[in-house]
Amino acid sequence: GGSAMAAVPNVEIDPEGTFKYILVRLQRPGGGEQRDIVRGTKAAEFHNHIFEKLNPEMEKLGYECKCLGGGKIEHNSKDKKIRVFGLSTGYGKADHSVTVDILRKEYTDYEITWSDDKK
């Protein structure tokens, strides 16, 4: 039921630095529940590396994954600021405003902004 989806964190991003991120839609095959999650890490050289790691994990839980786009995240934990920007060449630009909404739920005391800037 809902518990498996609730067990999947909305956000998993590196605690510091600038790195690639993707916005991913999880859904149950045949419709029903769906939600969007944010994943980003410096370990990923390309956006598809993040997706290729996430996808099998989510399939095991019974979800279909669709990448809605990507970009970059600049995470400054000292100043409690997150900036979302850029795009993914492979997946296109995520809707950064959606990403920011998801981030704000997790990082409630942060200043979180986004732009379409490349850098």
Round to whole Å and give the CA distance between 104 and 63.
24
pLDDT per residue as tens digits for the range 45-64: 999 999 999 999 999 999 99
Beta bridge partners of 82: 75, 112
Give 81's DSSP letter: E
Residue ranges of the annotated binding site for substrate are 20
Predicted TM-score (pTM) of this structure: 0.93
Round to whole Å and give the CA distance between 82 and 65.
25
- Does the pLDDT of residue 3 top 70, yes or no? no
- Does the pLDDT of residue 76 top 60, yes or no? yes
Q: Which CATH superfamily is 11-115 part of?
A: Janus/Ocnus (3.50.20.20)
Residues 6+ apart with CB under 8 A from 40: 12, 13, 14, 19, 20, 21, 22, 50, 72, 73
pLDDT at 1: 47
The domain locations on the chain are: 11-115
pLDDT at 108: 97
75 is catalytic: no
DSSP string for 23-73: EEEEE-TTSS-EEEEEEEETT-SSHHHHHHHHHHHHHHTT-EEEEEEEEEE
